[in-house]
Amino acid sequence: MAEKKIEVLTQKDLRDLAVVGGGSDIIDWKLYDTLTIPTSGTQVDFKYFQQSVGPNGITLEQTNMDIPAQLPNGVRFACQEIQVQPIIGVAMTKVSLIDLWKATHQGILNFNIGTRNYFQVPILSCMGGGFYGFAATAVGATNLETVYASARALMLGKLEYSPVIPSTFNFNVTLNYPNAPAPTVAVQLRVLLKGKLIRPRQG
């Protein structure tokens, strides 16, 4: 019988794992924000991470930002991936799926820190979640939720480097469309920044 390996943690290892004391926590984290694309109007630009939990009835389901457009003092975030996630309703119809297509298969995503752009790709390049692409083209089918919303691939906006958002420094993600999406049914899109949150340890 092969001998089992026993892992031994040194004092330094324990200090590095501690959640209290000096130094910083570096943890896996996602910053997210959710906006609604309205059914009418001419809006072509949607700016994310401009709201925070609490004011105007904004809930933790919509965003996990504590301060609009900024991280708290002493907190930084190394962004490694950007994902656009449509919020899928329970009852999908041909109309609502076409509206989702309008919101996700056109337009450009920009990731801005301060006054500079650090990532720019078509929105479709950052798709992920419950609605990835179309598996078939049978427009006349009755079960459109099966025909149109079947996942075929997961496409995420991975950054080859990890730009760090400094604390108390403005940042945003914008979705910019060539024409107003103007869906028949309002569409909710969530943007997630995935990476490492760097914060002071407790104590």
Q: Residue 2 domain-assigned?
A: no
Q: Compute how many other C-beta atoms are within 10 angstroms of the C-beta atom of residue 10.
A: 8
Q: How confident is the model at residue 1 (pLDDT cuts 50, 70, 90)?
A: low
DSSP per-residue codes, 60-105 = TTTB--SBTTBPPTT-EEEEEEEEEEE---SS--HHHHHHHHHHHS
Q: Residue 15 domain-assigned?
A: no
The number of distinct structural domains making up the chain is 1
Query: Of the ranges 8-12, 14-18, 133-137, which one carries the lowest mean pLDDT score?
Result: 133-137
Distance CA 190, CA 127 (A): 10
Q: Residue 126 domain-assigned?
A: yes
Query: Tell me: the pLDDT tens digits for 96-140?
Result: 788 888 898 899 999 999 999 999 999 999 987 555 444 444 444
Q: Residue 10 domain-assigned?
A: no
Q: Residue 156 domain-assigned?
A: yes
Distance CA 185, CA 95 (A): 8
Residue 177: closest CA among 119, 69, 95, 102: 102
Q: Residue 6 domain-assigned?
A: no
Q: Residue 1 domain-assigned?
A: no
- Give the domain extent around 159: 24-200
pLDDT of residue 106: 92
What average pLDDT score do residues 41-45 get? 90
Q: Residue 108 domain-assigned?
A: yes
Tell me the whole-structure pTM to 2 decimals.
0.82
